[in-house]
C-alpha cells in the first residue's frame, strides 16, 4: 500500500446492516455471502492500518461519509514545536514589555498617569502571532479556512494542515475555523496570554451519512524522475 490513498464507495449497497449476522468486525451479508466491515467505529489510524494489508483491498464496508476521503500515511513532520516556540516567544515578549513598562512608571504622579495610559493603549495592540495545525481525527486537514471574524482577512491550511495567520491579533479578536461539510469552530483571544492556550487541533464535526458497499481503494502514485 502506498503512503497515500483514497477510499470511495462507487455503488452504495441497499441491504439493511442491522439485519446482518453480527461478526467481530461488522456483520455477515447473506446476499453477498461475505463479511461487511463496520468502519464507522474505527479511527483514521485504524482505517489506515486495515488497508495497509493488501489482502484487505477486496472489501465491503460501512462508512460515515466523512471517512470516504484521502488518507496520508506519511509520518508527520515535527513542525508543531515551531508553533509552540513561536507562541512562547510572543508571550515572552508581552511579559518583557509589561515588565519594562512597570519599571518606567516609578516617577512622579503625573508621569505615572501618562505611562499607565500608554500601557493601556499598548496592550491592546495587535501583537499576538497565531500559527499551527488544523486536524480531523489526528490527521491533517488541508484546505481548511481560518479567518478573522467580521473581516475578509484569512488563510487556508496547506497540505500538512499548517497555517500562519497573515495578521497579528489582539484581545477580543475571534478566529473562525471552517471546512466544507463541517461545523465552524470559533477561537476567542481573551487576553494577552490566551495564544499559548489555543487548541488548534479542532475535532470539526461533520454531518453524518452512512454508506455501505464495495470499497474502491485508489492509491496515489508519484512519477519517478528520469535520468
Instruction: Work out the average pLDDT over 173-186.
Output: 80
Residues 85 and 65 in one domain: no
| Res. 215: pLDDT tops 50 | yes
123 band by pLDDT with thresholds 50, 70 and 90: very low
Within-domain flag for 202: no
Question: Using CA of residue 60, residue 66, residue 70, residue 76, what is the dihedral sign?
Answer: negative
The better pLDDT of the pair 161, 190 is held by 161
> What secondary structure, in 3-state letters, does 3-25 show?
CEEEEECCCCCCCCHHHCEEECC
**Residue 71 pLDDT exceeds 70:** yes
Residue 118: pLDDT band by 50, 70, 90 thresholds? Answer: very low
Compute the average pLDDT of residues 199-211: 56
pLDDT of 155 reads 92
Query: Are 100 and 30 members of one domain?
Result: no
Same domain assignment for residues 163 and 147: yes
Among the ranges given (20-29, 30-39, 111-120, 181-190), the one the predictor scored with the smallest mean pLDDT: 111-120
- Is the pLDDT confidence value at 173 over 70? yes
Residues 156 and 100 in one domain: yes
Confidence check: pLDDT of 72 > 90? no
Same domain, 188 and 128: yes
One domain for residues 17 and 46: yes
Q: What is the pTM (predicted TM-score) of this model?
A: 0.42
49-57 mean pLDDT: 73
The rounded mean pLDDT for the chain is 71
What percent of the chain is modeled with pLDDT above 70? 59
Rounded mean pLDDT, 14-39: 88
| Same-domain pairing of 63 and 132 | no
Residues written for the chain = 227
Compute how many other C-beta atoms are within 10 angstroms of the C-beta atom of residue 182: 18
Q: How many domains does the chain have?
A: 2
Listed in sequence order, the DSSP H helices in the chain are 44-52, 80-104, 109-122
Task: Please provide residue 15's backbone torsions phi and psi, each rounded to the nearest 5 degrees.
Answer: -65, 155
Whether 181 and 107 share a structural domain? yes
Domain that holds residue 85: 80-197
Residue 227 lies in a domain: no
Residues 106 and 24 in one domain: no
pLDDT at 151 over 60: yes
What per-residue confidence (pLDDT) applies to 125?
A: 63
Domain match, 41 and 130 both: no
Lowest mean pLDDT among 63-77, 109-123, 134-148, 174-188: 109-123
Task: Output the pLDDT for position 102.
Answer: 47
Examine residue 140 and state whether it is found in any structural domain, yes or no: yes
Q: Output the nine-digit C-alpha cell for 25.
A: 468486525
Domain assignment present for 203: no
Residue 45 and residue 10 in one domain: yes
Residues 181, 118 share a domain? yes
Q: CB burial class (10 A; 0-12, 13-18, 19+) of residue 155?
A: middle
CATH number for the domain spanning 114: value is 2.60.40.1120
Amino acid at each position: 500500500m502506498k503512503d497515500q490513498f483514497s477510499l470511495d464507495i462507487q455503488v452504495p449497497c441497499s441491504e439493511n446492516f442491522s439485519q446482518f449476522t453480527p461478526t467481530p468486525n461488522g456483520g455477515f451479508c447473506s446476499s453477498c455471502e461475505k463479511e461487511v466491515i463496520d468502519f464507522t467505529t474505527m479511527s483514521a489510524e485504524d482505517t489506515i492500518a486495515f488497508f495497509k494489508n493488501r489482502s484487505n483491498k477486496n472489501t465491503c464496508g460501512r462508512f460515515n461519509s466523512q471517512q470516504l476521503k484521502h488518507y496520508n500515511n506519511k509520518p508527520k513532520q515535527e513542525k508543531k514545536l515551531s508553533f509552540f516556540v513561536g507562541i512562547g516567544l510572543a508571550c515572552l515578549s508581552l511579559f518583557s514589555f509589561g515588565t519594562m513598562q512597570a519599571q518606567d512608571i516609578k516617577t512622579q504622579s503625573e508621569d505615572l498617569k501618562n505611562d499607565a495610559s500608554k500601557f493601556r493603549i499598548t496592550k491592546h495592540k495587535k501583537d499576538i502571532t497565531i500559527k499551527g495545525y488544523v486536524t480531523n481525527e489526528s490527521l491533517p486537514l488541508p484546505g481548511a479556512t481560518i479567518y478573522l471574524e467580521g473581516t475578509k482577512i484569512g488563510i487556508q491550511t496547506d497540505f500538512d494542515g499548517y497555517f500562519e495567520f497573515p495578521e497579528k491579533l489582539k484581545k477580543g479578536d475571534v478566529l473562525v475555523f471552517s471546512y466544507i461539510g463541517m461545523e465552524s469552530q470559533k477561537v476567542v483571544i481573551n487576553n494577552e496570554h490566551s495564544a499559548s492556550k489555543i487548541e488548534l487541533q479542532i475535532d470539526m464535526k461533520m454531518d453524518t451519512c452512512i454508506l455501505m458497499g464495495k470499497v474502491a481503494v485508489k492509491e496515489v502514485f508519484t512519477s519517478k524522475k528520469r535520468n
